[in-house]
Structure 1
């Protein structure tokens, strides 16, 4: 299993205390296919004519939006999308639709945690509107595996290096895709990014907005750029932070991420060395050897933990526990603690970090993000290779990332066997021709969406304007950089388009 982009969604709120979660979005909740309304002959105009009925949910307002299962045949059935809104705290100028990334992350959490994601200037001026994209969260969620099966799927070696591990990887993939088909039904074939972008336009209309104001992070930038391609005349103020290059093939994207995580790990180690007496080694290369030796030892013998369920730390779980804190410089101390503990023979904190990556809590999964990301990504582009072809990829991937390269090479098999085929513009090319100015943000040492991809997106979008943040971690906004935040606020609040190429 390799779903690195999925942590991009979690990268905004990595280590938030979710202890009060009721687990309603757990992985076992959808043993039956996601519910849909039956054919009723409605037209697309009927969906555009709806208004959301809001009800109180904690401190916010919640509602549902009905959208066609298949936009090519809107009368053939519908699904309901979960929507959450936190009201503007000051003089309201409109609705700001938001997406945290993934793909697979439930966007309603972004509205729920609006005070964390957005500065008070934005909170005062906009209703923050989050929605669970189709197939995620509480929006007809796709389901592929029971929680127990998902545990085994995540724990498996992401770089299988024995015949037995390769056989396990093949079995896991077959079980995953057969489970998706059996447990998700027709919805599994209709959770593409194009369809989610069409949903956003229905949402725009239901909110009573003539144009869409939008803030998307990570994969949310691809969703926003797709919206701009489909509905250029409806583009209001779009901010796309932690941007992805929509033109990259799956292989090129995997190479880009492998390089990005290598850069982030080396930056983490350089910081450790610069602070003096680094516990991992006296140099970056020495620190890398310590980490790779640790992973090899865990691969040979999983580490015990203090987990109340009695789980050990497998090498797969150790891998996800290692990469998660790289999303935010503020989380590097957690990685320090986890690695120190693991070196001493206790995998408890790395296990906690891996569980955080997968939205696993108290023995269950609080959302379906680990399943949804694969279905959405593979529906968007089903290209893959077979396990027998993986070794031929090692040279290029090890050059991009000596530490993580082989894992990312194995990730190229992820879509092998997908039973679904996209029917809604699967080959859409994105340039946003005719759209109003779109602000694209990139961070120079972003692990999950490397800076070069933001440059590429801004260049490919006809009206793209680039803001660059020199720093570590995933995404640029609300990270303590006043230059970035002032430029974003000037754009979203006043319509002042930043200078293209602004460097902060």
Structure 2
């Protein structure tokens, strides 16, 4: 789940088993897709009209994937599920990856990569190749862009200049002048969305998207949903299970979000999570001096780099490596343990006057291409995140939290106290439900001990809230676990294919 870089809700969006899986309900498999219209929330949904789209791999893979064929479709859904006949429609883009060696088909596996705002369409193409082979052979892998994202009636209200300004501003402004600049930049972001979309901003909420998912399930002809959700995608899956518990076949929620947390509590837990992940990076640096050229105290190096960038940012190609960009690079590096080495080299290069590697890390997080253009990740991220919450701290409350959180979480606390876009958001709110999925089939929830973005303690909390959750713990680093380690893979594969639920509190070692 992507959260806060100055002002914006942002992304973000890797071992041995203790015991074998235990079987549950037998005989619960999906039927073959139907060609007849089906319904969701009382609305008739037309079947997805699939058409071959072999070129969707471009920009994701350098050459066409072998043994996978792609089809694409568009499904129309009501803009407002509370008023389906009077609100117009959104187009939801889907892609289906089907193995050319498919056998013993179970059904369709829907995937969401998180964000909110990340492209599930592109991620579906990616995962159709990189999921375990036994899963790909048994399922059609379905990726979709949620409403407002990418190819699905996208929200677009942030200019490139405003996004550059947002990412470049001081992540933890301490003077009144610097804080005022952050307020002004984020007010401009919020107001441009309000001017363009008005009251319809609430249509981009998570609950509306969860209802879309049931329409997509119906459109592809599945009686029940099989779903793999990462990060924010765990929240989307949890809301779906609460709304449509009888329509759940199997849900895997990896990198869990606790829906019961307030926005402020969630942000503070994430500040603690990133601090913990950075401490783990520090431990790695001390033990791997040859791979960590910035030495045994990377925290001091990073904090000095941010401080120096406030007054004398290094000039890069077309922009300066300001404090905001340096901070974004650090955040980006903590999502995956393999990026620690990259951050260390990037900080070393920055000390030598070369910010290129630092910008590569930051831009990968910001989804900014070499030409300086952005996807609509952050437009959608703000639209969804702000619509979802009616408990956002005010600008004044955020300012008061800054020094408190900075003292507890020195590197990340001050920045994560500031959700200034949602604090000034003009749209109406549509909070999601947070309660049990009564009547649902068992749901697998995965938490990673070293996860910075969705700290581990949210995973048992989500499993408990759902009432039908079973927890898998991975003693690993980075954001999310499947399919990165054999123990987790084995448990999840058996659950998805055979509906064998892992034993309670399964722990997978690093």
User: Corresponding residue for 1:496?
Assistant: 500
Are 1:418 and 2:425 matched, yes or no? Answer: yes
- For 1:78-477, what aligned pairs fall within 5 Å after superposition? 78-88=89-99, 89-91=101-103, 92-115=105-128, 117-185=130-198, 187-276=200-289, 278-282=292-296, 286-305=297-316, 307=317, 310-394=318-402, 396-411=404-419, 413-423=420-430, 426=431, 428-477=433-482
- Paired with 1:4 and 1:164, the residues of 2 have a C-alpha distance of 19
**Are the counterparts in 2 of residues 142 and 183 from structure 1 also a CA contact under 8 Å?**
no
Q: 1:370 to 1:420 in 2, by over 3 A?
A: same
**Are the counterparts in 1 of residues 124 and 142 from structure 2 also a CA contact under 8 Å?**
yes
Taking structure 2 as the reference length, the TM-score comes to: 0.86
User: Corresponding residue for 2:26?
Assistant: none
Are 1:69 and 2:79 matched, yes or no? Answer: yes
SS at match of 1:82: strand
Count of aligned positions? 462
Q: Give ranges in structure 2 of 5+ residues lacking alignment.
A: 15-38, 56-68
Can you list the C-alpha shifts for 1:113-149, whole angstroms capped at 9, x where unaligned? 1245512121111111111111111111112222122
- TM-superposed deviation, 1:417: 2.0
- TM-superposed deviation, 1:183: 2.9
- Paired with 1:382 and 1:343, the residues of 2 have a C-alpha distance of 42
- TM-superposed deviation, 1:289: 1.5
Over the residues paired in the alignment, what is the CA RMSD in angstroms?
2.0
Taking structure 1 as the reference length, the TM-score comes to: 0.87
SS at match of 1:236: strand
Can you list the C-alpha shifts for 1:76-108, whole angstroms capped at 9, x where unaligned? 211111111111442121000110000111110
Can you list the C-alpha shifts for 1:410-460, whole angstroms capped at 9, x where unaligned? 23x33122121135xx25222111110000000001010010011111111
- TM-superposed deviation, 1:161: 2.0
- TM-superposed deviation, 1:186: 5.1
Q: Which structure has the higher relative contact order (CA within 8 Å, separation 6+)?
A: 2
**Are the counterparts in 1 of residues 6 and 166 from structure 2 also a CA contact under 8 Å?**
no
**Are the counterparts in 1 of residues 289 and 295 from structure 2 also a CA contact under 8 Å?**
no
**Are the counterparts in 1 of residues 9 and 385 from structure 2 also a CA contact under 8 Å?**
no
